[in-house]
Every structure is written in C-alpha cells, then in structure tokens.
A and B are shown apart, each in its own frame.
Chain A
Amino acid sequence: MWPRSFEQPDVRPDEERSLRPFICLSAGLLALWLTLTWSLDPQEVATGLVVSLVVASVARSAVHSVTGCPGSILRRVAWSLAYIPYLLRAIIAANIDVARRVVNPALPIRPGIVKVRTNLESPLGRLFLTSSITLTPGTLTVETSGRELYIHWIDVEADGIEEASERIVRGFERYLERIFG
C-alpha cells in the first residue's frame, strides 16, 4: 500500500564487475580513517589500509550502485563545495524563522502537508534533496513517491504544486542536478 521511498537504482552489469567503485570506496574509507586517527604513522596507515579494503569488499555490493565514481568528478566536487554554504545559509535563515515563530506569543503558524514535484532522476540526488528539505526547519519530508514529495510545511505560503515546488525544491535542485545528474 505504501510505495517505496526510493526506487532501486538500475544495476549495470559492467559496473558490477568493475573495480573502480571498490577502489573509490576504499580510498574514501582510508581518508576517513586518516582524518580520525590524525596521524601518518606507518602502523596507523597500514591498519587503516587493511580495514578499508576489508570493509569496502564487504560493503561493495550494497553501495557500489549509488557511490560509483562519477566521470566528471571535478565539476561535481566543485558544485558540491558550492552547495555546502548554500545549504548552511538556508539552514540558518530557516532556523531563525522558526525560532521567531516559537517565541512569538501569537504562535503564527499555518501548518499543512503540501505536494511538490522534483525533476531529479538519480535516487541519491533525491535522497540529498529530501534530506536538505528536512534539515531546513519549517519543511519536513513526510512521504515520497517517485517524483512526488509530500512536505509538512509550518507556514503554507503556496498551495499549488508548481508554486510550492518553486519555493521548497528549486533552490536545492539547481545544485543537486549538477552534482548527481
């Protein structure tokens, strides 16, 4: 009765056999390890390398389809870096907005669940979109169904799908469609 939140990504057979996602995942895990240990001692690096390879080989089948190394990685990294300040700005602005509503004696809210539509195709992109929407206070993703997202909005400013999508989704989407395609 309830649709799956995210469709299963297509698993391409050539990607399944390729070593690239495995290497990328191992490198990412090793980078995380080195950040955590904050040491370049040969023992630490060797242990991290072994652990990364083991974890990557176990987790590969679960994550390779969504984390495979993107082709034009530099462009995507650049857009990801630009996305961070954009998201932080949105979080701060929305936090202050909700905080002002909370301390206002009249409690000025007009809550409701609206439906919006996204143009993002990639499941990972949609995951980032719904998470970004949820992270910014005032909007909360309640349910997703393919392209359609149901958002609890603390102050419903726009009723129609188009206007609501314009206000909630488009800003994030501009970045995410360039990062995830």
Chain B
Amino acid sequence: MVAWDVIGALVTLAGSVFLLLGAIGVARMPDLYNRMQAGTKATTLGNLLTLTGLGILMPSWLPKILLIAVFVLVTNPISSHALARAAHAAGIPLAKGSVKDALDHDREAR
C-alpha cells in the first residue's frame, strides 16, 4: 500500500509544519499570553495531524493513537488555562499595544 504510506507521510509532514509555525510564533510574539496562544495551541493541530499520519502509516496503532489524541485534547486546555491564570494572578503584564484588560479592570473595581 504505497499510496497510504505517501498519504500518511504527507499528513505527518503537515503536522510538523504546524509545530514549526508554533515555534516561530513563540519567538515572534510580544508577551507571555500571545506566546501561549502560538506555542501551546498552534501545536494542537500539529499534534493531531502528526498522530493521524502515524495512524495511517500504522493502522494497528489506531485505537491507542485515538486515545493519545483524546488525552492531548483534554489536558492541553487545562494546563494552558492554569498557566495563563497563574501568570495573570502573578501580575505579568500584557504587551504594549494590547487593546484592553477586562480582568485587571474588574479586579481593581472589586
């Protein structure tokens, strides 16, 4: 099944492109919050595509790959939220040029 091998390889390659873009985003973004946007989440699709590609290359691994994908989807947002929340609570400022900070505004009003 050469055709499937090629498709699997291409999907995995597409996944690595998104991972690379995530890394570039981490380097380019101006502050922690925007870096998290690029770094932790441009990688969501990168991970999913890489796993899908592996599943196409190795169909017998599919059930476990599906589980890994679910675990990524469940743990990724929780850890991202925990990091962002802790950062904001610790007073890490938004980058210059940020439009607004509704949370800071509400916290001061309290």
Chain A residues close to B by CB (< 8 Å) = 2, 5, 32, 35-36, 38, 88, 91-92, 95, 98-99, 102-103, 107, 109-115, 130-138, 140-143, 150, 152, 154, 156, 159
Contacts and interface: CB of A to CB of B under 8 A. Distances in A.
A75 to B, nearest CB: 22
Interface string B17-44: 0100110110011110110111001101
Nearest to B36: A140
Given A36-B67, A112-B100, A150-B102, A107 B37 contact: no
Contacts of B45: 91-92, 95
Contacts of B33: 111, 113, 140, 142, 152
Contacts of B34: 109, 111, 152, 154
Interface SS of B by simple majority:
helix
A115 B100 CA distance: 10
B42 A137 contact: yes
Contacts of A114: 100, 102
> Which residue, A88, A109, A138, has most C-beta atoms of chain B within 10 A?
A109
Interface in B38-96: 38, 41-42, 44-45, 48, 63-64, 67, 73-74, 76-78, 80-81, 84-85, 88-89, 94-95
A136 B106 CA distance: 25
Contact of A141 (B18, B84, B94, B104): B84
> Which residue, B36, B85, B103, has most C-beta atoms of chain A within 10 A?
B103
A111 B89 contact: no
28 contacts: A32-B67, A38-B63, A95-B18, A95-B41, A98-B37, A99-B42, A102-B25, A103-B24, A109-B34, A111-B34, A111-B94, A111-B99, A113-B104, A115-B103, A130-B77, A130-B81, A134-B41, A134-B80, A135-B77, A137-B37, A138-B37, A140-B33, A140-B81, A140-B84, A141-B77, A142-B33, A143-B103, A154-B37
Nearest to B76: A135
A142 B103 contact: yes
B108 interface: no
Query: Across chains A and B, which 8 residue pairs bring their CB atoms closest together, nearest first?
Result: A112-B99, A134-B77, A131-B77, A137-B41, A95-B45, A115-B102, A102-B25, A150-B103
Nearest to A107: B28
A146 to B, nearest CB: 12
B28 A102 contact: yes
A91 B46 CA distance: 11
> Which residue, A91, A102, A131, has most C-beta atoms of chain B within 10 A?
A102
B100 A99 contact: no
Given A98-B37, A103-B21, A135 B84 contact: no
